[in-house]
Amino acid sequence: MWILDSSPRSPVLTWGCRGEGSRTLPAIPSFLLHLPDPNEHQDLLEGLADSYPVEECRFSTVYGPLDGYRVAAGREVAERIEGQTHCAADLYNVDIRLDQRAMAEAGLVPCSYPGESRFALDFPVPLAIAELEALGNPYRDGPLPSIEVKGERGEVLEGTEQILLDDLFSLIGSLDPDVILMPCADIWIPRIVGRARELGIEQTLSRSGRFRPLAGKSYWSYGRVYHKDPALIPEGRVLIDTERSFVYREGGIPGVLMASRLSGLPPNLTARFTPGTLISSYEIYEALRRGIAVPFRKRDPEVARGSSELAACDKGGMIFQPEPGVYADVHEIDFTSLYPAVIVKYNLSPEVPDGKGREGFLPAVLAPLLGMRIRSKRLKKSSPAYAGVDSVLKWMLVTCFGYTGYRNAKFGRIEVHEGITSRSREILLATKEIAEVMDLSVLHGMVDCVWVQGEGIGMFKERVEEAIDIPTELETYGWLTFLPLADGNGAYNRYYGRMAGGGMKVRGVAARRGDTPAYIRRMQEEMFGVMEKAADLEGLRGLDPEIRRIHLRYARGIAGADPGEMVIRRRVSRLSYSRRSPEASAVAALQVLGAPLAPGMEIGYVVRDASRWLVEVEGEATEFDVPYYEHLLEKAWDEVAFTLDRVREGPAGTAGS
């Protein structure tokens, strides 16, 4: 059976694709307990044995074997033990999903047939897929709107709520899709299911008739507030919110399924989790598969160190600041998944932070992912079908570095985090030295990539790989622009250029920012489409008039643009503001509509009057502040005009500020 979904109840229930039905896996909630001095807690052990099955056992951890007990009970009991022993007890396998553990112990992999390799880039996807879209504002109260069914069965379901829901559930029952794709599904589905219950309509969204609620929460990550939306997940069927799922946006259905195969979690969860949660779940699944107990609380706190020692070891990644300008014939050397590659190459892991001794847990479990990423990055160049899987692998590997320094990470340790950045700085400096020895000009360097100019780039790549023993990727630009900061210095992550083989690479500009209105993004994308035709600076100079005409057309047409194309999307860090701002006005407007709000949520609004920061929420706007949006359009134009002005001023073949 191709495992599509699973429940965390005991026994674990697994569902196959359409027509395959469901099966059960035996699984009993339990956890592992180690007491440094069992005699000191004899009363506790006797009380446990009176109420729950308890057996002595010896189990493995990343630090070595421990003698202890297997207790057939849940998290509540483990937390009571923690309190009664004043945190002296070491607890393992406490907060692991029962279905993830059961499948790991049974050698099963979600989204696969028995015997398949989890690390294969190509795998069968025997799924029936349906696409739905509710044709209304998800934040506005009122009757349910019409629902469009896309694809070959394209039609619009409408009428009273009774008729609408009868038709919807009848359609789902007849199509019996394995996967339902729907924008804002996590807002619409709870409303749809709630109204069906009120009207006494039998729903067909869940193949078992049951739903699993997923709680929403706001959380901090890297100095910003994020929000995970609540969801109502049907059993036996996959529901993906195409508007809000990061993994789906990056990887599509193949990315969601690959994340499920690697993490041991059902795709209903991998579609809703962050890459950081996915890599943590992957490590947990690998630990379970290898018979290694997963700690409930982290027990390897940072050792006390002096300020001079901290300053010497905790410096982060290295960056060489670029000189703003436009450059011809630029080569970029990119270290493939540098931080994970450093973990694997130098054997960095919590139990061997200096990399010496036996093979560490982290290098062992990351090596297969790293191998997959190297293959997928190569394959996607000739086949776009691998792009989604490659993107998910990239993000999971990127976040594995951050989790080594996360204080609550199951397999993290700050010394490992520092060791990774230390070695990455050495690699970047070594690469710079090799370039200078070969008389190459180093234009820019940023943690895991270096931009250079000069001859002999093939030999440079070979020498770098020989010196650092990490694979690299080479990209060549016919021309490349490094944009300036407001103070005139070069920006680290704002650049764009035309690849020698065709296509544009664009980073950090308006067309790539999530808060850019669609009208302005479209202008810049159209300009980049024209600039792509220029293989060199001379060709770019010849396209100057055409690009300026695009700017003029958009500048003249902005007053008559559709307000829906002026939506600005921002993440709000709070729900109360002491000063006027567009976000404050948008939050207030959404609260009037009755929209559920929480810090970290992304909201959309259109600025109606910038002088008073009056806004209208997305889907409700009828007008916008034209001068305000003209200013935004000119800022986006300046990012393109910088290149045109430098090319016009400089000699053919080179240009700088």
Q: The domain spanning residue 598 has which CATH number?
A: 1.10.132.60
Residue 404 CB contacts under 8 Å (≥ 6 apart), including other chains: 343, 348, 362, 411, 412, 413, 414, 416, 417, 420
Q: What is the mean pLDDT of residues 95-104?
A: 95
Q: How far apart are CA 100 and CA 27, in angstroms?
A: 10
> Do 369 and 498 sit in the same domain of this protein?
yes
Model confidence at 653, pLDDT cuts 50, 70, 90, reads very low
| pLDDT tier for residue 152 given thresholds of 50, 70 and 90 | confident
Distance from C-alpha of 417 to C-alpha of 275, rounded to nearest angstrom: 18
Is residue 287 scored above 70 in pLDDT?
yes
Rounded Cα gap, residues 442 and 428, in angstroms: 11
Supply the pLDDT for residue 24. Answer: 93
Instruction: Read off the pLDDT band of 652 (50, 70, 90).
Output: very low
| Residues 337 and 471 grouped into a single domain | yes
DSSP string, 67-116: EEEEE---HHHHHHHHHHTTT-SEEES-S--HHHHHHHHHT--TTS-TT-
Domain membership of residue 391 (yes or no) is: yes
pLDDT value, residue 14: 95
- Give per-residue pLDDT as tens, 490-549: 999 999 999 999 999 999 999 999 999 999 999 999 999 999 999 999 999 999 999 999
Is residue 629's pLDDT more than 90? yes
Strand order across the beta sheet in which 568-571 lies = 568-571, 602-609, 614-617
In a domain, 158, yes or no: no
Nearest to 515 by CA among 464, 440, 572: 572
- Count of structural domains within the chain: 3
The reported pLDDT for the residue numbered 416 is: 87
Residues 389 and 481 in one domain: yes
Q: Which residues, in sequence order, are CB contacts of 38 under 8 Å at separation 6+?
A: 45
Is residue 309's pLDDT more than 80?
no
pTM: 0.90
Buried b or exposed e, range 429-452, using 16+ CB within 10 angstroms: eebbebbeeeebebbbbbbbbbbb
Residue 313 is predicted with a pLDDT of: 61
Do 484 and 577 have their domain in common? no
Residue at 159 is within a domain? no
Q: Which domain holds residue 592?
A: 559-649
Among the residue ranges 174-178, 304-308, 462-466, 653-657, the one predicted with the least confidence is 653-657
According to DSSP, residue 570 is labeled E
Mean pLDDT to the nearest integer, 550-564: 97
Which DSSP letter does residue 323 get?
P
Degrees to nearest 5, angle at CA 161 with 239 and 181: 15
For residue 138, is pLDDT > 90? Answer: no
| 446 in the same domain as 329 | yes
Q: Evaluate whether residue 431 is within a structural domain.
A: yes
Q: Tell me, what's the pLDDT at 466?
A: 95
In three-state secondary structure terms, 43 is: helix
- For 562-606, how does the pLDDT look when each residue is reduced to its tens digit (9 = 90+)? 999 999 999 888 888 888 999 999 999 888 888 888 888 889 999
